[in-house]
Amino acid sequence: MSEAQVRSFVSIDLEDQQVLSRIVSIMSSLQALGGDLKPVEGENIHLTLKFLGNVSTPRLAEVQSSLKQLTFPSFSAEIKGAGAFPNLKHMNVIWVGVNEGWSQVEQIYEQVEKLLYTLGFKRENRPFSPHITIARVRSIRKRDEIANFLQHLSDESFGTITVDKVQLKQSILSSSGPKYSTLLEIPSQPR
């Protein structure tokens, strides 16, 4: 019998209601353009630090133990700008970015990468680009309109959040979309 697998990732959750409502408003405006988009549910909006994929229960215990070694102070991060990966002409993912606080997020990311590399997780090949996925693009329908809309948001501030914890999350896939639950919360430490 095979071991149970837990689909998991490490993230910073967005819990500031004002910032969330601005992002949800932008998602509604994007959908109104008529594009073929799958928006992220408001309660699932987060900044992924590392996607782990399916992890066995014993290995997940090692991940939790390792992540408890994370150390970072609480800080503010401005959520600003919007765009698409890989770019506006070939959109797969629509995102909002991190402006102020970018380097602190990157420092946490580097710690997560190092801690999990020692457990055998591969390092990410691409350069880290802190972002919050707000929608996935299913087809090119209305691509030009969406790209134009996103360009107008390139300097838009959605507000500032306080980053005072990192979370290990479980993702359970269902026909109605993923459901996330927190497996571990690592709080910031005072300076």
Q: Tell me the per-residue pLDDT of 37-61, one tens digit each, with 9 for 90 and over.
A: 999 988 899 999 999 999 999 999 9
Q: What is the percent of the chain where pLDDT is above 70?
A: 98
Q: Tell me the per-residue pLDDT of 25-34, one tens digit each, with 9 for 90 and over.
A: 999 999 999 9
> What DSSP state is assigned to residue 22?
H
Give me the sheet containing 46-56, strands edge to edge.
46-56, 5-13, 165-172, 179-187
- Domain ranges in the chain? 5-186
Q: Decide if pLDDT at 176 tops 90.
A: no
- In single-letter form, the type of residue at position 69 comes to Q
Nearest partner of 170 among 183, 154, 157, 153, judged by Cα: 183
| Distance, CA of 13 to CA of 47 (rounded, Å) | 6
For the record, the structure tokens of 60 come out as: 């997940």
Nearest partner of 173 among 61, 74, 44, judged by Cα: 44
Cβ atoms of 37 and 30 closer than 8 Å: yes
Q: What is the CATH number of domain 5-186?
A: 3.90.1140.10
Our measurement of the distance from residue 9's CA atom to the centroid of its chain's CA atoms, rounded to an integer in Å, reads 9
Residue with tokens 């580097």: 110
- Radius of gyration for the chain, computed over Cα atoms and rounded to the nearest angstrom: 17
| Distance, CA of 65 to CA of 166 (rounded, Å) | 14
| Active site positions, annotated | 46, 131
Q: Tell me the per-residue pLDDT of 98-111, one tens digit each, with 9 for 90 and over.
A: 999 999 999 999 99
Q: How many residues does the chain have?
A: 191
| Angle value at C-alpha 153, between 149 and 159, nearest 5 degrees | 140
